[in-house]
Amino acid sequence: MKPSLPVTVVDHPLVQHKLTLLRDRNSSTATFRQLVKELALLLGYEVTRDLPLTTARIETPVTSMEAPRLDGKKLVFASVLRAGEGLIAGLSELVPAARIAHIGLYRDHDTLEAVQYYFKVPDNLANRPVIVVDPMLATGNSVCAAVDLLKKAGACNIRFLCLLAAPEGIAQLQNRHPDVAIITAAIDERLNEHGYIVPGLGDAGDRMFGTR
């Protein structure tokens, strides 16, 4: 079996502080949404760390220089609906020119399997870095289904950004897609019998959108 890419846990103090506020059941919907956006900005910095650079000749007010700029085709943020949208709010501010893919999956509450209902992606996926985003890596079924669909559509440079990961989800994603690097703010203890991450933060989508 191919060795899987490592999991990066972003242990920056600001990330950890904001994550604690996010976990707190007393944080309001507005606070939760704002924190997800702020965490996306901070983790976005890490997940884009190795994007390829080229140079361009520019004129500063003082002289001309060869200055670094992002190379290649625009990257793609692939939002796993609906909770992925909270992260997109921050990531699209960080990289305004990024293309946004939407992948509609819901979790069957009995089987915990991902069921697809929507898939819309930019062209030329094979030539773009694709960053799949979903706040929670629980069983791993949703992200694996999302990566399956993206690979089928041509993507070959994929990484995954989340806020919380369960060991079970990491194992599943590494097993099915060892070429997909995982970037997260924390790895929690386990999943409970309902598929929730423990200690976790509850249902990310419901807390973000004020639903139940």
User: Which residues make up the interface to ligand URA (CB under 6 A)?
Assistant: 136, 138, 195-197, 200, 203-205
Concerning whether 203 is annotated as a catalytic residue, the answer is yes
Concerning whether 110 is annotated as a catalytic residue, the answer is no
Nearest partner of 131 among 46, 66, 62, judged by Cα? 46
Cβ atoms of residues 121 and 101 within 8 Å: yes
Shortest Cβ 67–ligand URA spacing (Å): 42
Concerning whether 29 is annotated as a catalytic residue, the answer is no
Does 83 carry a binding-site annotation?
no
Q: How far is CA 172 from CA 137, 177, 196, in A?
A: 10, 8, 15
Concerning whether 207 is annotated as a catalytic residue, the answer is no
Shortest Cβ 163–ligand URA spacing (Å): 10
CB atoms within 10 A of CB 64: 9
CA dist., res. 69 & res. 66, Å (int) = 10
Does 84 carry a binding-site annotation?
no
Q: Which of 107, 148, 176, 179 is catalytic?
A: 107
Catalogue the active-site residues: 107, 111, 203, 206
Binding site for 5-phospho-alpha-D-ribose 1-diphosphate, residues?
A: 82, 107, 134-142, 203
